[in-house]
Amino acid sequence: MRYFDAAVIGGGVLGCLAARNLMRWNLSAVLIEAAEDVCTGITRSNTAIVYAGYDNKVGSLKARMTVRGNRHFDALCETLEVPFNRCGSLMVSFGPGADRVLRKKYENGLQSGVSGLRLISGPEALEMEPMLASGVSLALHAPSTGTVNPWQLGIAAFENALHNGCEPRLQTWVLGIRHTNDGYIIQTDKGEICCKVVLNCAGLNADKVQELLFPPSVRLFCDGADFLILDKHAAKPQYIIFQESEEKGKGVTAVPTVDGNLLLGPSQRPLDAKPWATSHDGMDFLREATAQVLPGVDLAQVIRSFASVRPNPHRVVWRDGAYIPDGKSIGSFCIENPAPGFYSLIGIKTPGLTCADELGVHLARETAEYLGAGERKSFDPYRKAIHRKDHEIICQCEQISKAEILEAIARGAATVDGVKRRVGSGMGRCQGARCSLEIERLLEAAKRGIL
């Protein structure tokens, strides 16, 4: 059995950043991930927004972490060489009801310390962003809102965690957890792992992982969301656009991504039996809402649709032989600490990406204090992005060369999708129709060691 001071369960952006932050301290750590690669769950499908922080209740953990997380994002992305675009956002309204919401958010934002926030008139918003529909009644401009590619950030953090000594355990399923005198034993399908601290960042399975050892306290009740991606050549707004609809939860968000595409979403809807499946209702909603808010967006340029699963944490109570949700979804970040040395992030939704590093810093500090670990002097925060490039272009649409793909494979990409998440191949207008086969062959060759 292997022994580690700390074990992170789950290799999404939260788990990867938690693992990286653990390595800032003098301790040994392992990251356990069920899939064959990191960042294949919720990290793979969300709005990619780094929020300014005006949405959250003043004084709440979420508000504090969001404002701080947002402020630190440039430095985080610079050290990890991940593209980050602080493009700013315009939250727009088209009527008195939504105007009131915007004013409230403005006040909220000011009190929370969001910098540069201002309320502007419809005409001024139109001048700033000519793609907006006329009829905007009020807009909230937040220059600090930005966008990052969430899986690029997660993978970069993972690489840096490994670089600093964290051990990866991919394709490893956690089957059970039990107490020892001074810690925990995690049973997996690949043997047992002994540790003093467990950081449960298991995303959609976080409640189940905690329940492997503790009685249910918080459970996830998921809803679904759909997204659309447009071709790079399609006209797109330069700001992130949030529509504050007269009807709550019925606005569209449009994000000009760091990769150069326009991302539309999310549509909010109940989750049916098939998670990760897009719905007609959701996609239709996105098209209709976008046509209203950004009439210049050419919806014939959609190249991909995908769905997300969004976990809403609820406290549960035992009643009539079952655990049932107690009231409404927990508004704050739900950080459970059911026993010393055991921490669970359960249902970290918006603005989870913005706060991912803050949460990781927090968990790592708690861990270090608990273990009495000092700072690791040799911690190297820097991670280099993939710069190797040659002249043999494999992905025509995104102009990704063979050397980049080989480097992605060398860094752990095990599938065509893994390569895609590392270098962006197959993300263009043909959606991998012309390069998937060649990338499959390169993966195969690498596996057999004939490269």
Partner 1 sequence: MEYCDILIIGAGAAGIAAARAAHGAGCTSVLLVDRKENMGGVLLQCAHHGFGPNLNGPEYTKKLLENFPKSIGWIPNVTVLSVSGDKRAILSGAGFGAKEVSFQQLILATGCREIPIGALPIAGTRPKGVYTAGQMQEMMNLYGFIPEGPVVILGSGDLGLVMAKQLAQTGLAVTLVEQRPECGGMVKNQRCLTELPIQLQCSTTISEVFGEKNLEGIMTVDGRYLPCKTLLIAVGLRPEREVIFGLENPDWLHLCGNCNAVHPMVEAVVNEGKRAGIAAWEKIRGSL
Q: At what angle do helices 416-423 and 402-410 cross, to 10 degrees?
A: 110
Supply 142's token pair.
């937040």
Supply 45's token pair.
């499908």
Hey, which bits of 94-203 come out as E strands? 118-121, 138-142, 146-148, 167-169, 174-179, 184-188, 191-200
Give least dist CB 277 to partner 1, A. Answer: 5
Give least dist CB 431 to partner 1, A. Answer: 4
Q: In the complex with partner 1, which residue's Cβ is closer, 281 or 375?
A: 281
Return the amino acid letter for 448: R
Give least dist CB 308 to partner 1, A. Answer: 12
Give least dist CB 343 to partner 1, A. Answer: 30
Q: In the complex with partner 1, which residue's Cβ is closer, 229 or 345?
A: 229
Q: Is the dihedral of CA 442, 443, 444, 448 positive or negative?
A: positive
How far is Cα 345 from Cα 203, in angstroms, rounded to an integer?
8
Give least dist CB 398 to partner 1, A. Answer: 11
Q: In the complex with partner 1, which residue's Cβ is closer, 113 or 260?
A: 260
Hey, how many other C-beta atoms are within 10 angstroms of the C-beta on 285?
19
How far is Cα 24 from Cα 129, in angstroms, rounded to an integer?
42
Q: In the complex with partner 1, which residue's Cβ is closer, 335 or 393?
A: 393
- Which among 377, 18, 20, 35 has a CA at the least distance from the CA of 165? 20
Give least dist CB 306 to partner 1, A. Answer: 7
Q: In the complex with partner 1, which residue's Cβ is closer, 183 or 424?
A: 424
**3-state SS assignment for residue 108:** helix
How far is Cα 261 from Cα 229, in angstroms, rounded to an integer?
7
Burial class (CB in 10 A: 0-12, 13-18, 19+), 96: exposed
Q: In the complex with partner 1, which residue's Cβ is closer, 277 or 317?
A: 277
Give least dist CB 152 to partner 1, A. Answer: 20
Hey, how many other C-beta atoms are within 10 angstroms of the C-beta on 184?
19
Q: In the complex with partner 1, which residue's Cβ is closer, 93 or 278?
A: 278
Q: In the complex with partner 1, which residue's Cβ is closer, 103 or 434?
A: 434
How far is Cα 97 from Cα 117, in angstroms, rounded to an integer?
20
Give least dist CB 406 to partner 1, A. Answer: 12
What is the contact surface with partner 1 in residues (CB under 8 A)?
229, 233, 274, 276-280, 283-284, 302-307, 390-393, 396-397, 399, 401-402, 429-434, 436-437
Q: How far, in whole angstroms, is CA 73 from its chain's centroid?
A: 14
Q: In the complex with partner 1, which residue's Cβ is closer, 222 or 393?
A: 393
Give least dist CB 430 to partner 1, A. Answer: 5
DSSP run (H or E) holding 244: strand 240-244
